[in-house]
Amino acid sequence: MAKKFKNKTLAWLDYRLPIFSVLREALVDHPTPRNLNYWWNFGSLAGITLVIMIVSGLVLSMHYVPHVDLAFDSVEHIMRDVNYGWLIRYIHSVGASMFFLIVYIHIARGLYYGSYKSPREVLWWLGIIIFLLMIATAFLGYTLPWGQMSFWAATVITNLFSAIPLVGDNIVTWLLGGFSIDNPTLNRFYSFHYLLPFIIVGVVFLHIIALHKFGSNNPTGIDLTLKKEKIPFHPYYTIKDFFGFGVFFIIFGIFVFFLPNSLGHPDNYIPADPLVTPEHIVPEWYFLPFYAILRAIPFKLLGVLAMLGSIFILFVLPWLDTCKVRSCRFRPIYKQFFWIFIFNFIVLGWVGSKVPEGHYLIISRICTAYYFTHFLIILPILGMFEKTLPIPLNIFRNPKVKKKLKLNK
């Protein structure tokens, strides 16, 4: 039975519209594993970053002009003439990079602790859908300043759809609003960039509902059966989250105030010119691993399929990993392959920033091959033959957790 609020007005309103009791159940009383570490902070960090991106984006949209002749100048107007416009724009641009960094770490934590396994498959799917929507939103936002890199990145990405047999050229024409990138293209990209964040918010709510259905996974990966294995989310994890927010905002502030352009490309400060192609067209850093996979395959259609497949393969990951044990703590061999995969992904990002020729092209092909080998061959085989460590009956049987609990007392 739900607890009643002491405030009579709040209790009266909640009885008729139980929004406050739902929020209390989700953010205060929700039973949470007591052994969660700081890697679980990145979910809440992603949420607060999404709020920052939406608020800063709404302010920028009031001053931005989605027209090919005025877009670049309107961005400069924001930077030079709008009160604190430079700050809002840097918060938005740096925030995009921070958002992706947080989500990449969040996904890596899920891979390490097996958070994609039964019964949390739908939770994992919703997370990947959020990631795909983030990619689409970030690409559309990257085109809006209408600098050189914006224009040519839009040209390269939209032309990828032409690789689709029979209907590819028609899709490109529909996306561009004509036969080349022009004002209709920019207007469409701006409209979708404004819309998609609110769709992300909707999927995030579904993600949270799915999370609360079976509760959070934990570092041991075992299902919690004892009441004393769980504690209320507030105040234990709200304090932990606020500590994470403090550390994040320090790092975020350093980039906003001292290194705002370090994560961007200098060519985007040159107005878009269809007659001048940049020497090397590169996307933002968070797209580079997938860009490397795209360029590693010489055939256009296969490259596009490989790039899309590198993300969509995550949807079937719960069934590709045949091991019943979730956490890497009890899978010593898989733990080694996990870190090899992380290193491989970072190398893909590095070669994605280089010109695709010579040894860079060879490295990108090797890393691309390993990326798919990890999911399609290594994980299924490991699940059948890996000898796992003994699994504790509960989190108190884990010596590391027991030691931590004693220290907390």
41: nearest Cα among 327, 250, 243, 234: 243
Q: Could you give the CA distance from residue 201 to residue 46 in angstroms, rounded to a whole number?
A: 11
Q: Where are the alpha helices (DSSP H) in 62-217?
A: 71-80, 85-113, 121-143, 148-160, 168-176, 183-214
Q: Where are the alpha helices (DSSP H) in 215-321?
A: 233-258, 288-296, 300-312, 317-320
Structure tokens at 48: 């607060």
379 in Cβ contact with 321 (< 8 Å): yes
Q: Could you give the CA distance from residue 314 to residue 125 in angstroms, rounded to a whole number?
A: 8
110 in Cβ contact with 124 (< 8 Å): yes
172 in Cβ contact with 161 (< 8 Å): yes
177 in Cβ contact with 301 (< 8 Å): no
143 in Cβ contact with 156 (< 8 Å): no
Per-residue burial over 211-225, b if 16 or more Cβ lie within 10 Å, else e, is beeeebbbbbbbebe
Q: Could you give the CA distance from residue 33 to residue 51 in angstroms, rounded to a whole number?
A: 26
Report the run of H or E that residue 337 belongs to, with start and end. Answer: helix 332-352
* Cβ atoms < 10 Å from Cβ of 41: 23
Catalytically active residues are 212, 216, 240-241, 284
